[in-house]
Amino acid sequence: MKKYISFISLFIFGTACLYLPQVHAAELKKSCIKANPYAAGETDPTLIGLYQQLCDKSAKKNISLQYELNTQIAKRYVELGSHLKALNLIDQLHRQQQHNQTLTDLGFMAGVAISSNALQQMRSTEVRALNETTYPQAKLLAENIQFAKPVPASVEPKSYTASNIKNIKKQTAVSMKRSITSSTKTKNVVKSASIKKTENISTRTNTASSNPFGSLKNN
C-alpha cells in the first residue's frame, strides 16, 4: 500500500514538473500587462506569444515590428470573438497614425460582428424589431455594403491579331460585294421590265396605225 501511495505521489510530482514550465511560459510579466492592458486575463497561447514578442526588448526599439505585432494581435482578437478589444486596439493604432487595408478590414469585421450580435439579441432575446433610430443606420449600412460588393470577373475582350483583322476585312468586303450584286440585279430586272412594257405599247400603236381602214372597221 505504501509503495502504491509512493508511486501515485511520484506520478503527480512528475506531472506537475512537466506542467509548471508550460504555465510559466504562458505567463506575461506584470510590466508587459501594464503596458498592454488588453492582455490582462488572456489565456490563448497564440495571443500570449504575440504579447511576449511585443514586450521583448528587440520590439521596443523597432516601431515597425510593434505595429506589425499589434495588427496580428487585433486579428487574433477578431478570430477569438473579442471584437471590442480588437476595435479598441485598432483605434489605438489609428491614433498613432497607423492606417492600412488590414486594419480597415479587421475593423469592419469586428464592427459587423458586434452589430450582428446586437441584432440577434433584439430578435431572439428581446423579441423586437429595429426602431426609427436604429433602422435608418442598418439600412444605410446595407446600402453601402451593396454598393461596395465585389464586381464579378468579366469576360476578357477577344484580342485582335493581324489574322483576325484580315478575316474581318475579308468578310466585310464579301458582304459589300453581295449587297452591290443584289442591288445591280434588282435594277436590271426593273429596267428589263420597263423596256418590255414600252415595246409592247409601241407594237400595239404601230399595228393600229399601219392599217388605213382600221377606223372604218371599227365603225
Q: What is the CA radius of gyration of the chain?
A: 46
For residues 17 and 11, what is the distance between their CA atoms, to the nearest angstrom? Answer: 10
Number of domains in the chain: 1
Q: How far apart are the C-alpha atoms of 36 and 30, rounded to whole Å?
A: 10
Task: Convert the pLDDT of each residue in 157-201 to its tens digit.
Answer: 555 555 666 666 666 666 666 666 655 555 555 555 555 555 555
Residue 66 contacts by C-beta under 8 Å, 6 or more apart in sequence? Answer: 54, 59, 60
Question: Which residue range(s) make up the domain with 117?
Answer: 30-148
Q: Judge whether 135 lies within some domain.
A: yes
Q: How many CB atoms lie within 10 A of CB 169?
A: 10
Domain assignment of residue 95, yes or no: yes
Give the global pTM: 0.59
56 inside domain: yes
Domain-embedded: residue 81? yes
Residue 104 lies in a domain: yes
* Average of per-residue pLDDT across 32-55: 96
The size of the chain, in residues, is: 219
Average pLDDT value for residue range 142-155: 85
Please report whether residue 48 resides in a domain: yes
Domain contains 1: no
Mean pLDDT on 110-123: 96
* Nearest one of 53, 56, 114, 57 to 83, comparing CA atoms: 114
Q: Residue 67's pLDDT is what?
A: 96
Residue 42 forms part of a structural domain: yes
Mean pLDDT, residues 95-118: 97
